[in-house]
Structure 1
Amino acid sequence: MSEAGYTPPSATATASPIAELRGVTKRFGEVLAADDLNLSIRAGEFLSFLGPSGCGKTTALRMLAGFETPTSGEVRLDGAVVNTLEPYRRPVNMVFQHYALFPHLTVAQNIGYGLRQRRPKPPRAEIDRKVRSALEIVRLDGFEGRRIWEMSGGQQQRVALARAIVNEPKLLLLDEPMAALDRKLRKEMQIELQNIQRRLGITFILVTHDQEEALSMSDRICIMRDGRIVQTGAPRELYDQPRNRYVAGFVGTSNFFDGAVTGLDGGTARVAIRDGIVLAGRALAPVAAGQAVSVSIRPEQIRLVRAAAGGETGWPVSILNRIFLGEHTEYLVKHESLGEFMVLTPRQAELSDGPFNAGEQLTAVWDAGSALVLDKD
């Protein structure tokens, strides 16, 4: 098929990826914004691009939308190359970070705007029916006549979402749509977006720098760095089996202890840290003796005890800081040689053992299987 227009796939093609990036590179002059991106996106999944500002995630989203053209490589929708196909001719809609709503139009007029631009224009009764259906989906029934400036931030986001889904796109692209919301409302909208996505079966692609947002909402997460895809996988896979230190540090919180491999025993590596301290951990990828690595341990996998049980290996630490967060408490502790690291203690443990206080001398304990030995790159 040529790029002159978009043709839906045949019934026999439904098993193919709904969208693909094949060797996609994007340059803005001398700036390399996206570098050899290869990704297959499944129909009906919730995929997130996660990474810091400037990593290329928004550029990838804009190339899928048609707002940017790849310098090289192919963007495919339903198997068809769409590199130069105009955005309005793609089965794609986008919800922008600042919503881009029209303040002079009512809620219903904003939602139906895209339908009114179609040629041939649908009958007014059909537009009204689809607008009402979209309002029902985002739970804004009865708000048809409101002006945008009369709506709260969360309500405006729902209007932007309704405007996108009313066109029944195959791909719904979300460019950090919850960045302007407060924490409580953001959590509510995360659940709402998941419910809407499951109800409609539309493929959602989210761009975010918020790891909690990506972990809580996504079927798969695509971690990006410096314009490249570092690792793609399910949230639990990325959390439990990060490819390197960068992924472990960006997906969740982790403590890192740098050193060099001194020995190997099956899948376990021994790592010399400093002052004669050797930590053991699972090596998720092949490592060699002498290789510089990081030992990663999640804060929730460390226990603080006043006295280690028999057979437990512990590290004497002093508490520097205590932050009570309701369901858990975060402790910043310090070991003479390992340095400072974070420990997360669940509320239930504190109720039974009692809280620890700044300045208290304790023992930090973790299982060797909880530690991961990772490439530092």
Structure 2
Amino acid sequence: MTYTEQLNPVESPIAEFRQTSKRFDSIVAADCLNLQIRKGEFLSFLGPSGCGKTTALRMLAGFEMPSEGEVMLDGVDVSNLPAYRRPVNMVFQHYALFPHMTVADNIAYGLRQQKPRPNKETINAKVQDALDKVRLGDFGDRRIWEMSGGQQQRVALARALVNEPKILLLDEPMAALDAKLRSEMQFELQKLQRELGITFILVTHDQEEALSMSDRICVMGGGKIQQIGTPQELYDRPVNRYVADFVGKSDLFEGRVIDTRGDLAKVELHGAYAYCSFTQPPENGSEVMISVRPESVSIHKHPPQDLAADSTLFQGVVLNRSFLGEHTEYVIRHDSLGEFLVLASRQVEMSLGQFAAGETAYVVWRAGAALIVEQK
């Protein structure tokens, strides 16, 4: 599938891929990308290693030229324009700061390369403004090796922002930070982006990072755009198995469509029935893949007495229990469906009790909780 999305006609994209591909010899790293990026949005390219997300970012930056198609920035075709002539700046994963320079000199480096070069007073004022934006106003005289990992990241941000780019590109800038600091920096980046109003484009393999920070997410796989949407759209309405499996956790089952009425399809699942939502109405008798989020599945010691007629019920055996703080993750085994996950909140466990490995459990999900997705 080649995914294409169009903006509202009244909007003018700040950046755009038009049928853009990039090949390295026989390897297609980016395959016919079509994407419009909005002014002032926080967009993330999300996907595993080798999916094409970094290649897309590097084509925007000018570090790679497209093999086919166009790369547009603010309405101008920059496909063959070198990086230094593009109105973008990039923050790299390892920051690429100069250890022999002070923080202020690192930030001023790009300004000093400009032609004509700004005068000293202008450079100092812009450097101080950039330091204040990233809350390092008093750190200008420090050396890079005296800064913590989070502070170094902010120095790299300041260095990118001081040139007043129209777009800021972020190449997994938090990959080297510990979990607590990464969470803090995610919040700081979101806040900074809202304050500045600059378009931020992030590359990440971390789904939680993309979901928590982005206005929209572009899910990449096999060099193609699999789906574009808000975090909630991607989580609630994945278009195919790849997105359902990569964005969050999903239980995936194969079934056969029995009937379609209104906005639900009745799907047979090894002796039970699931009433599933869908994006495109399926044909009766067709084999389909359905996705159910583990938190949409409830777990019980006994079959519920007040079970709705259109709910789905299975009996299984608990294989494993993992306590994860705010919830517990159970691995359930069904003879025909195989293994799948159920997430039980602490409140559920407090009222129903815990399930031990080897114990029989009954799992239920309501009508519409399952979604028919493309099998790819």
TM over 0.5: yes
1:184 is the counterpart of 2:180 = yes
Letter in 1 for 2:247: V
Find the partner of 1:99 among 95, 100, 106.
Answer: 95
Aligned equivalents of 2:288 and 2:160: distance in 1? Answer: 46
Aligned to 1:376: 375
Aligned to 1:205: 201
2:272/2:314 contact within 8 Å kept:
no
Aligned equivalents of 1:55 and 1:306: distance in 2? Answer: 42
2:16/2:37 contact within 8 Å kept:
yes
Find the partner of 1:305 among 300, 304, 317.
Answer: 300
Q: How many angstroms does 1:89 deviate by?
A: 1.2
Q: How many angstroms does 1:261 deviate by?
A: 2.4
SS in 2 for 1:97: coil
Aligned to 2:339: 340
SS in 2 for 1:283: coil
Aligned to 2:261: 265
Aligned equivalents of 1:40 and 1:264: distance in 2? Answer: 35
1:223 is the counterpart of 2:205 = no
Aligned equivalents of 2:67 and 2:224: distance in 1? Answer: 15
Q: How does 1:1-377 map to 2 (within 5 A)?
A: 15-274=11-270, 276-307=271-302, 308-312=304-308, 313-377=312-376
Q: How many angstroms does 1:357 deviate by?
A: 2.6
SS in 1 for 2:361: strand
Question: Structure 1 residues 126, 348: closer, same or farther in 2, change over 3 A?
Answer: farther
Aligned equivalents of 2:289 and 2:202: distance in 1? Answer: 30
SS in 2 for 1:118: coil
Gap runs ≥5 in structure 2: 1-8
TM-score by length of 2: 0.93
SS in 1 for 2:350: helix
Aligned equivalents of 1:257 and 1:306: distance in 2? Answer: 23
Query: How large is the RMSD of aligned CA atoms in angstroms?
Result: 1.7
Q: Deviations over 1:123-154 (max 9, x none)?
A: 21221122122222212232212222222221
Aligned equivalents of 2:10 and 2:314: distance in 1? Answer: 55
Q: How many angstroms does 1:166 deviate by?
A: 1.1
TM-score by length of 1: 0.92
SS in 2 for 1:112: helix
Gap runs ≥5 in structure 1: 1-12
Aligned equivalents of 1:244 and 1:80: distance in 2? Answer: 34
2:104/2:140 contact within 8 Å kept:
yes
Q: How many angstroms does 1:42 deviate by?
A: 0.6
Q: How many angstroms does 1:214 deviate by?
A: 0.6
Aligned equivalents of 1:108 and 1:357: distance in 2? Answer: 58
Q: How many angstroms does 1:14 deviate by?
A: 9.7
Q: Deviations over 1:279-300 (max 9, x none)?
A: 3311222322343321111011
Question: Structure 1 residues 36, 363: closer, same or farther in 2, change over 3 A?
Answer: same
1:260/1:273 contact within 8 Å kept:
yes
1:50/1:209 contact within 8 Å kept:
yes
1:22/1:39 contact within 8 Å kept:
yes
SS in 1 for 2:368: helix
Q: How many angstroms does 1:185 deviate by?
A: 1.1
Q: How many angstroms does 1:202 deviate by?
A: 0.4
2:260/2:281 contact within 8 Å kept:
no
2:272/2:313 contact within 8 Å kept:
no
Q: Deviations over 1:141-189 (max 9, x none)?
A: 3221222222222111111111111111100000111111111111111
Q: Deviations over 1:26-74 (max 9, x none)?
A: 1111111111111111100000111111111111111111111111111
Aligned equivalents of 1:189 and 1:209: distance in 2? Answer: 16
1:104/1:147 contact within 8 Å kept:
yes
1:292/1:376 contact within 8 Å kept:
no
Letter in 2 for 1:305: H
| Identity, % of aligned positions | 62
Letter in 1 for 2:344: T
Aligned to 1:3: none
